[in-house]
Structure 1
């Protein structure tokens, strides 16, 4: 949790702010890059953008550019990087069982896996790109599913910055996040250890 500290989020936001409009553009670009290459926790980037842009505009930036990053990742991998993605996905052996579900109910499963953290977000992008999910289902499912989760992560990022004022709400948000993770693990076990039932 050290990377999610008050100082780190403030420091990143201050660095971005010091560059003026270029810093605002960099904040948007960071969301895209984090979505494609998760080099830092998303909450860190989300919190910095909420501080930089203000809460609601920061949430809009986090949401829109996270969706753009996911779509860009999906399209690039589908066109140029399927062999690389398959190697990356080897560590998630259960994802191979998702192919049939994605082919028949792509939009539903993409949306649910965005709302409930069943898999890492970047793994969803890679898996959808190499499997039989339709681009339309991926895009719509991602846009619908990311909306509540990005809001939750933006609120957590915001409340980490102002923990003295929002300690109660932060604890509630973290409890919701932990519950979502537990729910994700439950559905992962149900979908992939219980056969091919949908």
Structure 2
């Protein structure tokens, strides 16, 4: 995350007053719908723009709102397109099996341990017709720790001299979570053994 770029974007938005603050919030919404840049960059912008706690709340609320909008649109308007979009994820069948079985809690867990990209969770839940209530609650639970962590990492990267120790701990924790997500992704993409009867075991 380039310090100058984040600082520049934050300063530019701040110079616009309340319009810029709305722009910072909408930036999170757009990033959630169309992930054109890493979320941590947007999180850093808003932490600078609003201060840490308000920035975290803005990041969290609009990330959740963006996820719900993506889910609703995919569920009601773009089902065929979504199925084509998700076809490239070979492990999605396993994800869908667990989504059917565990619903709300699997959505929450997948938000915390990044097995799938966030937008794929939104679209996959829509295709599998997960109940809206379950999707929203699972998203609210699961996004809170990750958005908090990414907001804090963004903050500490921008104030590196003051928070080197904490930043190191956060980066190690994030690396562990990514490694766990990668492990399950590989596990789900491996072909299941076939028994003599021809059935998967």
Q: What is the TM-score with the length of structure 2 in the denominator?
A: 0.91
Rounded to whole Å, the distance in 2 between the matches of 1:17 and 1:96 is: 44
* Number of aligned positions between the proteins: 192
1:1-198 matched pairs, under 5 angstroms: 4-191=1-188, 193=190
Higher helix share: 1
Would the aligned equivalents of 2:86 and 2:124 in 1 still touch at CA under 8 Å? yes
Flag the 1:152–1:19 CA change in 2: closer, same or farther, 3 A: same
Rounded to whole Å, the distance in 1 between the matches of 2:128 and 2:181 is: 21
Rounded to whole Å, the distance in 1 between the matches of 2:147 and 2:97 is: 28
1:109 Cα deviation after fit:
0.8
Rounded to whole Å, the distance in 2 between the matches of 1:110 and 1:60 is: 21
Moved over 6 A (4+): none
Query: RMSD across aligned C-alpha pairs, in angstroms?
Result: 1.4
Would the aligned equivalents of 2:112 and 2:143 in 1 still touch at CA under 8 Å? yes
**Larger-Rg structure:** 2
1:161 Cα deviation after fit:
0.7
Q: After superposing the two structures, state which structure 1 stretch, 126-135 or 14-23, moved more.
A: 126-135
Structure 2 portions without partners, runs of 5+: 193-201
Rounded to whole Å, the distance in 2 between the matches of 1:5 and 1:91 is: 31
Q: What is the TM-score with the length of structure 1 in the denominator?
A: 0.92
Rounded to whole Å, the distance in 2 between the matches of 1:80 and 1:175 is: 40
Structure 1 portions without partners, runs of 5+: none
1:192 Cα deviation after fit:
5.3
1:99 Cα deviation after fit:
2.1
